[in-house]
Amino acid sequence: MLIGYMRVSKADGSQALDLQRDALIGAGVETEYLYQDLASGRKDDRPGLAACLKALREGDTLVVWKLDRLGRDLRHLVNVVHDLTGRGVGLKVLTGQGAAIDTTTAAGKLVFGIFAALAEFERELISERTRAGLASARARGRKGGAPFKMTPAKLRLAMAVMGKPETKIGALCAELGITRQTLYRHVDPQGNLRTDGEKLLQSAG
């Protein structure tokens, strides 16, 4: 069964939902299975979404117009879809940047897997910056320091972007906080795993 969810950022009248409603119905969602919220996506209290998620059953697919209609941010979105996947529920995005996501297909699962790796990387990056700030405060005037090590999230991100013509290795290493040597110990220039990379992912479970 297809179940649809739609949301506008401000409660500015029913007209704001017409485009989403038409798109969801056009995708095969029946009107009685449409849920909606008129509040901002950053508000935790979204009764429409809560009811929608509660109504979903194994084998159902949640359909949204755009990816930003569903999640408050990337981490919230990943957590919602992770929960849905664990319940055997799919997600399909009709338009926008997330239109390639359809977790009922192999290709869609791959795209969302990259999103999940980015969210994990974001969490680790914040944690590392916090630790770096504490270390800097303790060191008082000490410059530089050893780069942070490779982590599973960084490795998955490197695998996703290595081999693409637009990827600049120096910029990638700077963003990940690792050296070129560390990068190439784990993946080859095409993004394929090397022995150290395989060991790292195996240890992460």
Left, alpha or beta for 163 (phi > 0: left; psi -120 to 50: alpha)?
Answer: left
So which residues are the catalytic ones?
A: 9
Q: Is 13 helix (H, G, I), strand (E, B) or coil?
A: coil
In the chain, the DSSP E strands lie at 2-7, 34-37, 61-64, 90-93
Measured CA to CA, the distance from residue 57 to residue 90 in angstroms comes to 10
In 47-120, the DSSP E strands lie at 61-64, 90-93
Question: For the purposes of burial, counting CB atoms within 10 Å of the CB of 93, is it exposed (0-12), middle (13-18) or buried (19 or more)?
Answer: buried
Neighbouring-strand partners of residue 6: 36
Neighbouring-strand partners of residue 2: 61
Report the interhelical angle of 169-176 vs 152-161 (nearest 10°): 160
